[in-house]
Amino acid sequence: AQSVTQLGSHVSVSEGALVLLRCNYSSSVPPYLFWYVQYPNQGLQLLLKYTSAATLVKGINGFEAEFKKSETSFHLTKPSAHMSDAAEYFCAVSESTGFQKLVFGTGTRLLVSP
Amino acid sequence: EPEVTQTPSHQVTQMGQEVILRCVPISNHLYFYWYRQILGQKVEFLVSFYNNEISEKSEIFDDQFSVERPDGSNFTLKIRSTKLEDSAMYFCASRESTGTDTQYFGPGTRLTVL
């Protein structure tokens, strides 16, 4: 079985500060890992994904994440937060074969203050 | 850019009534999914669908739930007799293939059961 743990239901940063959202996963098979963002009253938009190529993955809007197998982590970072980054962020894991349902974490709400 | 669409955006129903949630996946996609998100909780997998049959379902997806692709474009989720605990946001997702392809999510249908 697979699972995802996101530490911190809320993270607050100032505009221009580093964003770090934490994600740890558990998987008995090689995983694929994803970060999705959900803006208010909208669906889930893919930020980036790890599918066993490069361990440092770059996504949209300046976000990136690094797959660390030894730490079973896939933390999301952005060097400088913008007000528009305020949203809910979900980490998800899937198997690399089969129908690859996504297993989501509980989400982290990012708050950005001026 | 192609996108997944869902109707209605908000559905209010009485307990015990049947509801049908509709999704139009991206046109060349072959794999389809339903997820739900109870308010304040994480996104949960319900069912995956390929080649006109269910490929995987979660324990949430009991006999009250069914899915079908009636006309080659729509993908529907039916709840036969709604319960209060079915109140949630329901997301449809689709992907072209398995492997490294991305699941694209629709904007969701908010179901409120009174």
Placement of tokens 């015990």 in the chain: B16
Cβ <8 Å between B48 and A36:
no
Peptide bond preceding B8: is omega within 30 degrees of 0, i.e. cis? yes
Distance between A61 CA and the closest CA of chain B, angstroms? 18
> For B43, how many CA atoms within 13 A lie in the half-sphere containing its CB?
29
Distance, CA of A98 to chain centre: 22
Distance, CA of A72 to chain centre: 13
Q: What's the pLDDT tens digit per position in B81-95?
A: 999 999 999 999 999
Q: Shortest CB distance from A105 goes to which of B4, B42, B48?
A: B42
Q: Shortest CB distance from B42 goes to which of A45, A100, A106?
A: A106
Distance, CA of B84 to chain centre: 18
B33 pLDDT tier (thresholds 50, 70, 90): very high
> Cα(first)–Cα(last) distance of chain A, in Å?
41
Is-contact B76 B23, C-beta < 8 A?
Answer: yes
pLDDT at A96: 76
Q: What's the pLDDT tens digit per position in B35-78?
A: 999 988 889 999 999 999 999 999 999 999 999 998 878 999 99
Q: Which residues in chain A touch residue B100, judged by CB atoms under 8 angstroms apart?
A: 32, 49, 51
